Structure 1
């Protein structure tokens, strides 16, 4: 069991948890590193590889739809959203960031299911690279911690 770095009430234990990951392919070098860090952390927390479902979707705007499809199965203790949106020269960045974030939150609230949002929103590629491993690990910790918290509230 590992302790969460950021004020967790105690050790995190992912044994027996079923986790769904939805990864956007757009900016795949970044999202692939996010996914690897996330899966490694989940395994370190005791989540078995066979208890992880990992889906790929085209981009961040498609992540909420796939999360919703997984949530409707009622087979997961937590979900994780992975993506990377890098600011460009147009308003598209704000649209994608806002809409994907709202969609991820909506799935969590509509299904009362923890959804760790690790869709990076950065100014440039350098910022994304600097955050990819840490945010991937953070998403795993959040998913496990929130799944366990919601268990205690049921």
Structure 2
């Protein structure tokens, strides 16, 4: 769950992202929400030292396409981590379940296949207001959390490589 107060993430211990390179793949569907998530992620990456040149953003039509867009980053760009941002709002059909399951499984598979952090930033909400609340509203911005997670996971991997 997105939180307005990132203190539970020990924000003081976030390493510098100065030498890190990030891909961000953003779903165009529910763009008002997903663009807010992307802005939050970019802001947080820069706050912790990432440069604009080391933050690459690409868009896919919808959330179901997020894993493939993320895979393209892994195969075609030299990135240390990929942040996956989308929003699926519950409707009257099972479509919600299929999309959420597909993106979740796809993200897990990418983490293991490429041995690099693919950060799950998919909002799965019951209604549009819940999504807004988690994309810069009363519950903070899930994009911020995804960025902190990306930085910490890249740092963890770098510590294993030393």
Normalising by structure 1, what TM-score? Answer: 0.93
Decide which of 75, 85, 95 is 1:92's aligned counterpart: 95
Q: Is residue 131 of structure 2 the alignment partner of residue 131 of structure 1?
A: no
Cα drift, residue 44 of structure 1:
0.2
> Unaligned stretches of 5+ in structure 1?
none
Q: Deviations over 1:45-84 (max 9, x none)?
A: 1000011110000001101011111112361111100000
Moved over 6 A (4+): none
Decide which of 25, 29, 32 is 1:29's aligned counterpart: 32
Task: Please name the residue that 2:85 is paired with.
Answer: 82
Tell me, in whole angstroms, the C-alpha distance in 2 between the residues paired with 1:6 and 1:43.
17
Cα drift, residue 9 of structure 1:
8.7
**How many equivalent residue pairs?**
152
RMSD: 1.6
Decide which of 150, 158, 161 is 1:151's aligned counterpart: 158
State how 1:26-105 maps to structure 2 within 5 Å. Answer: 26-73=29-76, 75-105=78-108
> Unaligned stretches of 5+ in structure 2?
1-5
Q: Deviations over 1:95-141 (max 9, x none)?
A: 00000111111111100011111110000001100101320100100
Normalising by structure 2, what TM-score? Answer: 0.89
Decide which of 119, 124, 131 is 2:122's aligned counterpart: 119
Range with greater deviation from structure 2 (88-97 or 69-78): 69-78
